[in-house]
Amino acid sequence: MGFNRNQTLITDAQGIPTPTNVIAVKNLNRSFMTFPSIFGLDLFGNTIEGVVNEYNRRKAEIDALPIDTITKNEMQQEALSESFFQQLRAFKFIGGEAGKFLPSLNWTFRWDGIEKWSLIKNYVKRVSIEHNYQSSYQESIQITDLGSFIQNQTVQYGFQPLIGVNTSFDEKKLGGALTATVRFSTQKSFMVNTTSRSVIAAQSTNDFTTQLTYTLRGFDFPILGIKLKNDVEFSFLGTYKSNKNTTYDVLNPTSYAGGNTNNGWTLNGNTQIILEPRARYSLSNIVSAAFFIRYEGTFTEGAAQPGYHSTQVGLDIRIAISGGR
């Protein structure tokens, strides 16, 4: 937690100070737990649709109260703030101030020794699997002479990675060293500015990366009766990454649909694709050659700037010659 307060003191003739122009900001940053829809299932009911439904239920109750417009607006701001926090939480059984400040569980798992499994132990030298979940809740409260109100709230969660697999294969079985890495990560954030009382902004990122490398070192290749040592390396890099910025209007149900289509209105987004196969060959440290093809494309959505794609092809040959008298 953080707290910052600025004020002006006016002292009267008796030396009694009176604070005025009070501006204070209180910040809260804590771990959080929320989960996305998985194959259309909301195990904990913590969705934007739940936030919107709860807010509109409370808003109808506030609108029915015989109170002035200013008080009604303040109560609606508070209702949106509380609905945002409560409905995005995975576990809601701890309420009140304790539920607001107690940290939540985040985790990291790593499994080693999978290569000892009987089905793969004859071909795989080493396998490890990673899984990581991190989530946070941030809140900013402004306090003035007129009272306090929440300026903005942010919920961010991500699996980085959701699953990551690192594998190295037995060199004797394949005649060379083969390593493979596969990672899939996903991250999403929601932000609400309670002064607007209607818009929730969201940003989502999905990233899939795979990398393969095969290396064959020290094999003989005779030329003119001379046995020369050779090295060959083949590699492949593939990346798929999508980014999207969306908004939800809590007063307009057409901006959300629930379930797998609960994506809001798209403001802008892009998808990046990179494919790069590469080959490298060296001959007894005298001749080396490298060849690669790289395709890179960016495809935009809901943006004025169009996407682009490019293809690069490269060949690099190096020859070392030395001698003397």
Backbone Cα Rg of the chain: 29
pLDDT at 229: 73
Position 122 confidence tier, pLDDT thresholds 50, 70, 90: confident
Instruction: Determine the Cα–Cα distance for residues 3 and 140; give it in Å rounded to an integer.
Output: 10
| Average pLDDT over every residue of 265-279 | 90
Q: How far apart are the first and last CA of the chain?
A: 76
Q: Which residue has the tokens 């259309």?
A: 40
3-state secondary structure the chain: CEEEEEEEEEECCCCCEEEEEEEEEEEEEEECCCCCCECCECCCCCCHHHHHHHHHHHHHHHHCCCCCHHHHHHHHHHHHHHHHHHHHCCCCCCCHHHHHHCCCCCEEEEEECHHHCCCCCCCEEEEEEEEEEEEEEEEEEEEECCEEEEEEEEEEEEEEEEEEEEEEECHHHHCCEEEEEEEEEEEEEEEEECCCCCEEEEEEEEEEEEEEEEEEEEEEEEECCEEEEEEEEEEEEEEEEEEEEEEEECCCHHHCCCHHHCCCEEEEEEEEEEEEEEEEEEECCCEEEEEEEEEEEEEEECCCCCCEEEEEEEEEEEECCCCCC
| pTM, entire model | 0.78
Report the interhelical angle of 69-88 vs 48-63 (nearest 10°): 150
**Encoding tokens for residue 223?**
């030329």
Q: Look at residue 231 in the predicted model and tell me its pLDDT.
A: 86
Average pLDDT, integer, range 114-120: 83
Instruction: Average the pLDDT over 59-73 and give the result.
Output: 87
The pLDDT value given to residue 41: 62
β-strand partners of 272: 241, 298
User: Cα torsion for 40, 95, 32, 111, to the nearest 10°?
Assistant: -70
pLDDT in tens, 13-28: 988 988 888 888 999 8
**pLDDT value at residue 255:** 67
The mean pLDDT of the chain is 84
Cα dihedral sign for 142, 148, 152, 156?
positive
pLDDT band for 260, please (50, 70, 90 cuts): very low
- The pLDDT > 90 percentage for the chain reads 30
b/e map of 243-277 (b: 16 or more CB within 10 Å)? bbbbebbbeeeebbebeeebebbeeebbbeeeebe
Q: Are 101 and 28 in contact (CB under 8 A)?
A: yes
81 contacts: CB under 8 Å, gap ≥ 6: 150, 153, 192, 194
Torsion, Cα of 122, 123, 125, 131 (10° steps):
-110
The answer to which of 95-99, 114-118, 213-217 has the lowest mean pLDDT is 95-99
Give mean pLDDT, residues 301-310: 78
At 128-173, the pLDDT tens digits run 999 999 999 999 988 877 777 788 899 999 898 999 999 998 888 8
Q: Quote the pLDDT of residue 271.
A: 92
Q: What integer pLDDT is reported at residue 220 of this predicted model?
A: 66
Taking the domains of the chain in order of start, what are their residue ranges? 2-319
